Structure 1
Amino acid sequence: MLISADRIWIDGQLQTGLAIETDGITVTDLRPRGRDRADLNVPLLMPGCTDLQVNGGGGVLLNTDPTVAGIEAIAAAHRRLGTVSILPTLITDAPEVMEAAASAVIAAMGRPGIAGIHLEGPHLAPEKRGTHDARHIRPLDGRTMTVLQRLRDADVPVLLTLAPELAAPDLLRRAARMGVVLSAGHSMANADQARQAMADGVTMFTHLYNAMPQMNSRDPGMVAAAILSDAYCGMITDGIHVSADMLALTLAARPRKDRCFIVSDAMPTVGGPDRFQLYGQQIRVRDGALINAEGSLAGAHIDMLESLRRLIAMTPATLEQAIAMATDIPRQAMGLHPLRIAIGTPLADLIALDRDLHLTPLI
């Protein structure tokens, strides 16, 4: 089967005049279009999205179903929406839930779409906990360090979001030496504390602007330290969590343009019903947002492709920038191998988009 594309994402840029051959399972050739009649013509061919913050999908929340079946259901829901690689994300919960989620991810590695795990909490600043349950918040401790070591011993990529100002520096450095990717978030850190955290091994910031002190003229805070650094910054681009102006400001101000990426922060309503249970509360979609009984945002009701479209609509970001932020950059941030369109690439890892950047069938 010959698939011709107006534009193909190859090695970090959009290229034209190319086509792929496939046996329906993998890419068997990548070559100039030539004069052969294509079996399928698509406006855009690219690797599927990679999402580093996926709390749930398809009606399943990792916290309430920390099992292999739960993880597979979440990954399958997002794959149907164009995201082919995820970090299932466990938000703050009891230690035994973290341990169960770790065991499930270890068992699920190698299955379609499972790239590792994101532990968002429980080592957070109570003042910036958002929807996270205060009952389970605690300092970084030996029990979590044991879980991190078990995951890394199994070669599982791990992202840990924490408030670095509340963590012992020696534990931060130890986790970084294990190969855990440390991300600052749900934090009250000031600029100096954020910079010290980066010196101690933090290389990322979780959903920039959300659940952290905001910038002002005499107290730039963690946000400014993040923007001015070369650390990776995840951003929720649903237009609800962060305004269009702040997204545009961040993209313009960063010294390295390849260090911002999109996360969905998706909840079970993505690809699923319009409500779910979190910590015994019912959360439902209201005007496109998920809000708990306390009035805090409870994750997001958006997938990665919709996030990409909104980023382009809200900011000066180009299509090339947006594709990189949804594919290559999050993988770089986690040290994952890039998903490339090349001979041998599984067709299931690729997506085709129409001119409005919506999914179109590949076969």
Structure 2
Amino acid sequence: MLILKNCSYLSKDRNFVTGNIAVDKDTIVNIGDFNISSEDIVVDLNGKKVIPGLIDIHFHGAVGYDVMDASPEEFNKISSYLAKCGTTSYLATTITSSKKNLFVALSNIKEAANNKHLAQASIEGVHIEGPYINSEKKGCHDVNYMRAPLNSEFDELKSGFGDTLELHFTIAPEIQGAEEFIKYACKSGATVSIGHTNAKTETVKAALGWGANIFTHLYNAMRGIDHREPGVAGTALNSDSYVELISDGVHVHPDIVNITYKLKGSEKLVLVTDAMKAAGLGDGTYDFGGFKVIVKDGIARQENGTLASSTLTMLNAVKNIMKFTGASLEEAVRMGSENPARAAHIFDRVGSIETGKKADLVVLNDNLEVQSVYCRGKQI
């Protein structure tokens, strides 16, 4: 077995505790104070902090590759980059496209997800962001491919993935067919996020009743708050649902991040990156969703100035939320690991340091930088 000795690990009670972590193959099998065999492989961490691997449930690409057209081999490069940054699990996120292109992308995602023997971040599912959204809040999505959701299309998606990967959808609840689809998808085991929507509060409340449990990149591409109409954002803040937040200080002003934290707490905030292919590469000209995107000073925008995803990493999102709100490391890690796992229904296997869960572990140095990463027990 692999033993991470003398570490300060984030326990399931969300406190840092001094002890050891034992890993057998890809699974955590023991935690705390226990006997170590002479046959064990021991890594003495000398008190360094160990957190559960971070989980990004809204991620479009990195290092020059896009989820929509990456080959299985290119997904390996994406997953390797993520692991080096402290992200050990993610939902590969698609963008509005033709049905043909969507299913080609999903086929590549499914094949890439089978590379579980490699020391890299694992694809736990797919986040289908569009085409079931409102053109009035399109963001950087192509209106030509937006369409109403159909239960028959859900069945096609479900049959293609089986039980191997989670299905997570962003849907505008006011569009035709949304109510039936959300109810059907949630009953079938998928999760649904409310996003890219111009719905009014009553429709949003109804969608939560249909089964939606989270909001896609809160404040961005949705009806804002008015004192006579809470809108999507206001209803999200006043609900018990999870909310995604892009904590880069650009998509949402730091003061609004702080207000959101005060209202939702660390219990319901889900940090995401919404990163695109420029992540890990730097400034330059790229394409995303069929549009030209210019990245300057790390900020990605279309030529018309519309924000087009980000170049953020999950670890930087964790550090930013601490800076913007005064949240503790324990709270910030919860927002970057446990909460996304719970929202996407994958907390049974990832999102915390507990026996029986995947050995996805990130060792941090004193400056909260990645010192080493273990993906399913394999050090990258």
Using structure 2 for the length normalisation, give the TM-score: 0.86
Within 1, Cα distance between the matches of 2:43 and 2:85? 25
* 2:57 aligned partner: 52
1:174 aligns to 2:184 (yes or no): yes
State which drifts further: 241-250 or 301-310. Answer: 241-250
Show the 5 A alignment for 1:1-363. Answer: 3-5=4-6, 7-21=8-22, 29-32=30-33, 39-65=44-70, 67-112=71-116, 113-141=122-150, 144-151=153-160, 153-168=162-177, 169-254=179-264, 257-272=266-281, 274-275=283-284, 276-336=286-346, 337-339=348-350, 340-342=352-354, 347=359, 349-361=360-372
Q: Which whole-Å deviations, capped at 9, do the CAs of 1:18-49 have from their partners, x for residues lacking one?
A: 12356897656433399xx9733253101110
Partners of 1:214 and 1:223 within 8 A in 2: yes
Within 2, Cα distance between the matches of 1:21 and 1:139? 49
Partners of 1:99 and 1:147 within 8 A in 2: no
Within 1, Cα distance between the matches of 2:325 and 2:247? 10
| 1:287 shift after superposition | 2.1
| 1:13 shift after superposition | 1.0
Within 2, Cα distance between the matches of 1:351 and 1:38? 13
| 1:142 shift after superposition | 5.3
Cα distance change on mapping 1:154 and 1:136 into 2, 3 Å:
same
Q: Which amino acid aligns with 1:129?
A: K
2:217 aligned counterpart, secondary structure: coil
Identity %: 27
1:88 aligned counterpart, secondary structure: strand
Within 1, Cα distance between the matches of 2:127 and 2:92? 6
Partners of 2:282 and 2:295 within 8 A in 1: no
State which drifts further: 51-60 or 243-252. Answer: 243-252
Partners of 2:363 and 2:372 within 8 A in 1: yes
Within 2, Cα distance between the matches of 1:176 and 1:13? 29
Within 2, Cα distance between the matches of 1:33 and 1:266? 41
| Structure 2: 5+ residue stretches without partners | 36-41, 117-121, 374-378
Within 1, Cα distance between the matches of 2:99 and 2:140? 18
Cα distance change on mapping 1:75 and 1:38 into 2, 3 Å:
closer
Cα distance change on mapping 1:218 and 1:361 into 2, 3 Å:
same
Q: Which amino acid aligns with 2:258?
A: A
Q: Which amino acid aligns with 1:171?
A: F
Partners of 2:349 and 2:357 within 8 A in 1: no
Partners of 1:48 and 1:351 within 8 A in 2: yes
Partners of 2:283 and 2:298 within 8 A in 1: no
Q: Which amino acid aligns with 2:67?
A: L
Q: Which amino acid aligns with 2:46?
A: N
Aligned length: 360
Cα distance change on mapping 1:104 and 1:145 into 2, 3 Å:
same
State which drifts further: 141-150 or 162-171. Answer: 141-150
Within 1, Cα distance between the matches of 2:218 and 2:159? 29
Partners of 1:59 and 1:273 within 8 A in 2: no
Within 2, Cα distance between the matches of 1:178 and 1:38? 43
Cα distance change on mapping 1:287 and 1:171 into 2, 3 Å:
same
Cα distance change on mapping 1:210 and 1:12 into 2, 3 Å:
farther
Partners of 2:193 and 2:214 within 8 A in 1: yes
State which drifts further: 10-19 or 120-129. Answer: 10-19
Cα distance change on mapping 1:25 and 1:107 into 2, 3 Å:
closer
Within 2, Cα distance between the matches of 1:334 and 1:157? 8
Q: Which whole-Å deviations, capped at 9, do the CAs of 1:141-179 have from their partners, x for residues lacking one?
A: 356324333246344211100111104222221122111
Within 1, Cα distance between the matches of 2:271 and 2:74? 23
Within 2, Cα distance between the matches of 1:80 and 1:328? 19
| 1:270 shift after superposition | 1.6
Partners of 1:267 and 1:300 within 8 A in 2: yes
Q: Which whole-Å deviations, capped at 9, do the CAs of 1:251-291 have from their partners, x for residues lacking one?
A: 2123x752211001011122235442224443232122100
Q: Which amino acid aligns with 2:294?
A: R
Within 1, Cα distance between the matches of 2:223 and 2:306? 15
| Structure 1: 5+ residue stretches without partners | none
